Amino acid sequence: MKLFGTDGVRGKAGDFLDAITVLKLAKAAGIYFRKHSTTKKILVGKDTRRSGYMIENALVSGLTAVGYDVIQIGPMPTPAIAYLTESMRCDAGIMISASHNPYEDNGIKFFDNHGDKLNTECEKAIEAIFNDTELMQNEQVTGRNIGASKRIDDVIGRYIVSIKSSFPRDLNLTGMRIVLDCANGAAYKVGPTILQELGADVIVVNNKPDGFNINEDCGAMHPEHIGKIVREYRADIGLALDGDADRLVIIDEKGEVVDGDKLIGALCNYLNEQKLLKGNGCVATVMSNKALEDYLSSKGIELFRSNVGDKYVLEVMKEKGINFGGEQSGHIIFSDTAKTGDGLASALQVLALILKSGKKASEVLNPFELYPQILVNMKVTEKIPLEKIKGLDEILKPIREKGIRDLIRYSGTENKIRLLLEGKNKKDVEDSMETLKSFFKKVL
């Protein structure tokens, strides 16, 4: 059984992700982490989905069955689990969330004792244990070796302090009006608290989770809705989080959504000017617009690209000795502050940038113009390896000679091929995409 995808284990709760599967997965993960255990403790948090109760209890059963003590902390952002796992000296941390997906889905993300997401090799090792019935049976414990669980409700303060400490001490948010969309998700308590304690006038929306309304027509997936509220209340900025608060979308004072690549560019240049950028570089994914690369280059900053997924961004950041990177979708990583994408930590850096610049959000977060980019998803009957498709190189050669960047890849979860073309001349990009679409219609 294939379990892990691009970001942990994810699927429809009660179907692919049912109680039995989760219990087995917890046992397999516990057996894996036990090999290097120092504390025999694992931290478990979740977002606000109703199915989180089922999955949490199954995880506790599986982990205690192989000897682990479990600390349950209830609804908290994904980055909080990463931080608290290391802070509380746990062998591992587990977050129950399907991030920006609708409530019907749920997922399980694992963190090691340093608060880092597991790499592919670790995930494969857990999956191998999961599929080894004899090993799973033999590794169960009995008697006094069976683990225990306890719920702790006061750890929220630790995370709030850690996030607030990332905000410059010479600044505060007094006089700044902020609209915060919590997506009826995991940050519905911590988000407003952090901003209010720093002095902001906060208008909070979508902070009443009922187990089913997470991400529903709100949050980072639908930031246009709070654009109206920003204009109505004449706010300085809008902040839209997703269900587990690892993603941030910014809305400027005009009610316009700030492009993710422009946000990365503005933040990277800000860190560079503040002498806080390490490695003289930034990491973004293969999806980011080349205009970002050219903008950073004009500032003497090198852009490195990773595969799609914030854990891949972080891998390249570590490899290159860089402390800043992100995805255009809103996952932004300040590795000096957070172990993974953290919407609230990122928001504080955006607010610091605006305050230090003395400009409005629409000015400071619009540092360059994007190049025309077209993304097309096409259904396919078969995922033929790209290197085996005859004629593809011949089609791409004249496209590349026009200075157009191409990215062609299959979806990891659907029978689709994703075509991305980008260049300075809009008509060239449009014509090239029509050529490419016609080619793939014939061969796939």
What is the C-alpha radius of gyration for the chain, rounded to an integer number of angstroms? 23
Taking a C-beta distance cutoff of 8 angstroms, is the pair 354, 348 a contact?
A: no
- Catalytic member of 51, 97, 99, 346: 99
DSSP annotation of 358: T
Residues paired with residue 400 on neighbouring β-strands, in sequence order: none
**Under 8 Å CB-to-CB from 160, ≥6 apart: which residues?**
190, 193, 194, 197
Cα 174 from Cα 201, distance rounded (Å): 7
Residue recorded with tokens 């069955």 = 65
Q: Per the structure block, which two tokens stand in for 119? A: 């790499």
Taking a C-beta distance cutoff of 8 angstroms, is the pair 328, 260 a contact?
A: yes
Phi, psi of 346 (to 5 degrees): -65, -40
Taking a C-beta distance cutoff of 8 angstroms, is the pair 313, 284 a contact?
A: yes
Closest CA to 59 of 79, 80, 73: 73
Q: Is 99 a catalytic residue?
A: yes
**Under 8 Å CB-to-CB from 387, ≥6 apart: which residues?**
none
Closest CA to 181 of 248, 235, 233: 248
If residue 297 lies in a helix (H) or strand (E), which one and from where to where? helix 290-298
Taking a C-beta distance cutoff of 8 angstroms, is the pair 248, 345 a contact?
A: no
Q: Is 377 helix (H, G, I), strand (E, B) or coil?
A: strand
Taking a C-beta distance cutoff of 8 angstroms, is the pair 412, 6 a contact?
A: yes
Cα 81 from Cα 5, distance rounded (Å): 20
Catalytic residues: 99
